Structure 1
Amino acid sequence: MTAPSDHLLRAHAPIPTESWKAIDEEARERLTPLLAARKVVDFVGAGGWHRSAYSLGRTAPLAGPPPGVAGATEVRTRARRVQPLSEIRVPFTVSRDEIDDVQRGAADPDFDDLARAARVAAEIENRAVFHGWPAAQIEGIADTTPYPSAALGEDCLQWPGIVARGVDALRRNGIGGPFALCVGPALYTKIVETTELGGYLLLDHLTNILGGQVIWSVGVDGAVLVSARGGDFVLDVGQDLAVGYSHHDADTVHLYIEESLTFRVLEPDAAYVLTI
């Protein structure tokens, strides 16, 4: 999370400084373990709320200069291509009684709705990165990889061999490691609970194959094997995740978690999809 900016209207909220601090700390604690995509892609930002687009470094031809310009038959005109950042706003509420209790020194504030909003915001970011967001002009990592996906199957003792073949496919195409395996929560639980013959943990076996991490990733369908060497994927963030103020009544303060972002796959060969 970044420092709040004026457009978040926090100064208008009936929330004292100490309670704002508690809300921000809770949001940070909830969001940090959920933001799996940021562990494997390059992060650009935060560019601020005013940042509107990511430059693609490419152009598209224009029909010509403005009509009526004399002697412009040889003029070459092109438009710069950009990818717009999209805005995310996830609302949540905080009880005014809870805010008062924080001011009294309560060390265990009830911010359950903030926890829900943090999970939703993180899942939106993760899914945009791994599975795309067509309405926001974002192609995800799983959408662009050129390799046919591989099915993990039900027998998790076969997974090390399947992951190893995925790693080999990346290396054969000149993609270096370390590698990371981003897996959905249910699949991750199955991995950490499984012990192979001889008492060897499946998680340890996969980690050795990857030379990197198996990452618990909310919002990921199946698993996505990616190179974590850097330079292959770019998450461009304008407004980083921050808490803003909407309105309030006698009992409740209405807040939101906000972010603006876009995502680009620079090297499609650097990812391999594993289905359940």
Structure 2
Amino acid sequence: MNHLFRELAPVTTDTWTMLDDEARTRLVPMLGARKLVDFTGPLGWEHSATSLGRVGGVVSTPAEAVIARTRAVLPLVEVRAEFSLARSELDAAARGAIDVDLSPLDEAAARLATTENSAVFNGWDAVGFSGIIPATPNAATPRDSDVHRFAQQVAAATEQLKRAGIEGPYGVALDSDTWINTVGGNDAGGSPLLTHLRKILDGPVEWVPGIEGAVVVSLRGGDFVLECGQDISLGYASHSSESVTLYLEETLSFRVATPEAAAVIR
């Protein structure tokens, strides 16, 4: 038994497999931030802090002519999204039903993914994370209301990074509205906008729920680091005669090493 306590749940092994598959199916498309930054891990549930490579001030010691300084670390944060499934639905899954109502799991996956994406791009003051958007010193590129001009704005953002000495390839994070317009739209010349953006960036175009606008980032490596202790996992909380309460949980930290390696379009 481990800290997820899955063995205590009134859930069969095959049903756990089905729940894991459903969570993975929902999470992978939504975890856009981790596709645009360096992802380290998983390093395990016991991993509690990220080394910052720095030390604090000198403190007193029990002996003379000896100095001591504490190492600076960034604690990982435990993020959990709980949800409840009807036992009748879980029983139906165990009997082989293919139309099991897993909407509470889907909603929890969306909440957790949005939290992770927001932590990376918007920051999270309560846990000491500096986000990409507030950290970058680059002036934001104004967003044109004409969607056909979006490719030019992305090109302007990449040019801004190149002028700052930040090499590519590049990727771009898009909020939901921008993603819809990008996937379904054309550029000013009539070419598919998504295809044009990928040529400009030489990298991915990602949907990142949890942000506003668009952010172009360098993918050269070493600029933004998402460190994972426990990767997203399903665990058991409690149950009654009517429902089973489960949760999705992860531990993570995020650091910005090179603030100028991102350009915002808003």
TM-score by length of structure 1 reads 0.93
Does 1:211 find its partner at 2:202? Answer: yes
Distance 2:99 2:40 in 1: 34
Shift of 1:197: 4.3
Shift of 1:198: 4.3
SS at match of 1:8: coil
Select the residue among 123, 131, 134 that pairs with 2:122.
Answer: 131
Partner of 2:43: 47
Letter in 2 for 1:225: V
Select the residue among 104, 125, 147 that pairs with 2:138.
Answer: 147
SS at match of 1:18: helix
After the TM superposition, which parts of structure 1 deviate over 3 Å for at least 4 consecutive aligned residues?
A: none
Letter in 1 for 2:33: A
Partner of 1:268: 259
Does 1:252 find its partner at 2:248? Answer: no
Distance 2:188 2:114 in 1: 35
Does 1:101 find its partner at 2:97? Answer: no
Most deviating of 104-113 and 135-144: 104-113
Letter in 1 for 2:153: I
Distance 2:110 2:15 in 1: 21
Partner of 1:86: 77
TM-score by length of structure 2 reads 0.96
CA contact (8 A) 1:232 1:266 kept: yes
Select the residue among 3, 6, 10 that pairs with 1:10.
Answer: 6
CA contact (8 A) 2:149 2:187 kept: no
Shift of 1:156: 1.7
Does 1:65 find its partner at 2:56? Answer: no
Distance 1:165 1:115 in 2: 37
Does 1:30 find its partner at 2:26? Answer: yes
SS at match of 2:139: coil
Shift of 1:249: 0.5
Select the residue among 11, 15, 19 that pairs with 1:19.
Answer: 15
Letter in 1 for 2:59: A
SS at match of 1:196: coil
Partner of 2:180: 189
Does 1:226 find its partner at 2:222? Answer: no
CA contact (8 A) 2:11 2:90 kept: yes
Distance 2:75 2:53 in 1: 13
Letter in 2 for 1:156: V
Shift of 1:200: 1.1
Per-residue CA deviations over 1:167-199 (Å, capped at 9, x if unaligned) read 111112221111111000111101222223443
Letter in 1 for 2:131: G
CA contact (8 A) 1:152 1:158 kept: no
Most deviating of 127-136 and 38-47: 38-47
Superposed CA RMSD: 1.3
Distance 2:23 2:170 in 1: 29
Letter in 2 for 1:94: L
Shift of 1:23: 0.7
CA contact (8 A) 2:50 2:75 kept: yes
Unpaired stretches in structure 2, ≥5 consecutive residues: none
SS at match of 2:3: helix
Letter in 2 for 1:25: D
Q: Mark the CA change 1:198 to 1:81 in structure 2 (over 3 Å): closer, same or farther.
A: closer
SS at match of 1:6: coil
Q: Percent identity?
A: 44
The aligned length equals 266
